[in-house]
Amino acid sequence: MVYQLGSGLLDACVLSGVSHGDAYGYTLTQQVRNVVDISESTLYPVLRRLQKDGYLTTYDEAIAGRNRRYYRLTDSGKVKLDEAVRDWESFSSSVDALLMGGNNNE
């Protein structure tokens, strides 16, 4: 595929993945990898930045004799995600109109 995720859109995809609950680094990475070609290590800095900016928090849960780190959306993370979804809706419909709308100038 010729299209890539910019960092804003990648942030939004990660926030959305986290909003569905029980999210940890590996599953989030695979969710995004199903859509675009990112490397296995792409999400680590993204998650860390979103956490530092206060959009995500983490909690540990015991799984099969070890602790797995889960991510959870904070209130400001929810606001950020809503904003990103609205922006995407208007952006994607503009691109749709441009790419598929044909000649509307008449």
Partner 1 sequence: MSKELYLKELERCLRHLPAEDRQAAIDYYRDYIDDAIANGDGDESEVIAKLGSAEELSAGIITDVAISSLSSEESSSTQDDTGRTDKKVKSKHNAATTIWIVILAIFASPVALPVAITLLVLMMVPIIVVASVLFAFFVCMISIIPSSLVLLLSGISILSSQTGNAIVLIGNGLTSLGLSGFIMLFIVWLARAVARAFKAIGRWIVGIVSKKREKV
**Site residues (CB under 8 A) for partner 1?**
24-27, 29-30, 39-41, 44-45, 47-49, 52, 64, 66, 68-69
Give the nearer residue to partner 1 in terms of CB position, either 21 or 45.
45
Least distance to partner 1 from the beta carbon of 100, Å? 31
Least distance to partner 1 from the beta carbon of 98, Å? 28
H helical segments located in 1-106: 7-19, 25-33, 43-52, 75-100
Could you tell me if 51 and 58 are in contact, meaning their C-beta atoms sit under 8 angstroms apart? yes
Least distance to partner 1 from the beta carbon of 40, Å? 5
Three-state DSSP at 39 gives: coil
Phi, psi angle pair for 78, to nearest 5°: -65, -45
Give the nearer residue to partner 1 in terms of CB position, either 33 or 84.
33
